[in-house]
Amino acid sequence: MRTNFDFTPFRRSTVGFDRLFDLLETGTRADGPADGYPPFDIVRENEDSYRITLAVAGFAPNEIEIVAQQNQLTVSGNKADQDDQRQYLHRGIATRTFERRFQLADFIEVGDARFENGLLSIELKRVVPEAMKPRKIEIGGGSPANDRIEAPKAEHQAA
């Protein structure tokens, strides 16, 4: 059974959301692991702060790599070679290699990462540049011909 949603009506009435609709149509889980390893939580701390926590028991901090590139955060783990002299009767702590990817919205910056009690916590913060914040536009009076925006005049004009 196919459960695709048609975003065409939304695409017609919005501008600049193409990337979001593409992500929704292709599915963000297409390149991620199907088994959900390692498990993780995403917590919204406040309006502009988030935290991703991954359960990475059995890994040391030097066996985990965190890479933030453009709008994607990649967390990967590669366990160092084990001591082959151990004989396990039961092995329930997963230490297999993993890679977990998170798509980040625009203006989300990756901050501090902490490793404590087998949990890796990564802080994220939305930092919107001043130029992108809403600003009030004053309405001027006068005729439209006088309110044109003109290019700045050169200080030194050729003679």
pLDDT string in tens for the chain (159-residue length): 455 677 777 777 777 777 777 777 766 444 444 568 999 999 999 989 999 999 999 899 999 999 999 889 999 999 877 666 788 899 888 888 999 999 898 889 999 999 999 999 999 999 988 887 788 889 987 665 545 555 556 555 554
The one-letter amino acid code at 98 reads: F
Nearest to 101 by CA among 71, 121, 72, 65: 72
Element (H, E) at 14: none
C-alpha pair distances (Å), 9 with each of 4, 17, 44, 65, 121: 14, 13, 30, 41, 39
Alpha carbons 83 and 75: distance in angstroms, whole number: 25
- Provide the CATH number for the domain formed by 35-132 in this structure: 2.60.40.790
Residue extents of the structural domains in the chain: 1-30, 35-132
Return the sign of the alpha-carbon dihedral for residues 50, 55, 61, 65.
negative
Q: Is the pTM of this model over 0.85?
A: no
